[in-house]
């Protein structure tokens, strides 16, 4: 079983909590499932990098969806 540190658990919770809006963003911009999966992966990877800076920690409910729109634009 994989052990996660505290920051990884926080990141995984944020992704899980925002999963619905992230899927909606992917469906908004991509018609086929392969493109949607690629975009979701890119958003997740960028979110992980965005986590290191931590500017969204105070309003995590807004930070990841805003970053997701920025990824596609």
Q: What is the per-residue pLDDT for 61?
A: 58
> Which two tokens mark 40?
């979701």
Are 68 and 43 in contact by the 8 Å Cβ rule? The answer is: yes
Tell me the per-residue pLDDT of 49-70, one tens digit each, with 9 for 90 and over.
655 555 545 445 567 777 777 7
Query: How far from the centroid of its chain's Cα atoms is residue 2's Cα?
Result: 21
Are 63 and 20 in contact by the 8 Å Cβ rule? The answer is: no
User: Per-residue DSSP letters for 16-67?
Assistant: HHTHHHHHHHHHHH-SSHHHHHHHHHHHHHHHHHHHHH-TTGGGHHHHHHHH
pLDDT above 70: residue 73: no
Tell me the per-residue pLDDT of 5-52, one tens digit each, with 9 for 90 and over.
887 888 888 888 889 999 998 999 899 999 999 999 988 888 776 555
């Amino acid at each position: 079983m994989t052990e996660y540190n505290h920051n990884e658990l926080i990141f995984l919770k944020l992704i899980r909590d925002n999963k619905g809006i992230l899927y909606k963003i992917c469906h908004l911009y991509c018609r086929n499932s392969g493109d949607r999966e690629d975009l979701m992966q890119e958003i997740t990877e960028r979110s992980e990098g965005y986590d290191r800076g931590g500017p969204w920690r105070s309003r995590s409910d807004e930070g990841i969806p805003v970053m997701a729109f920025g990824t596609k634009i």
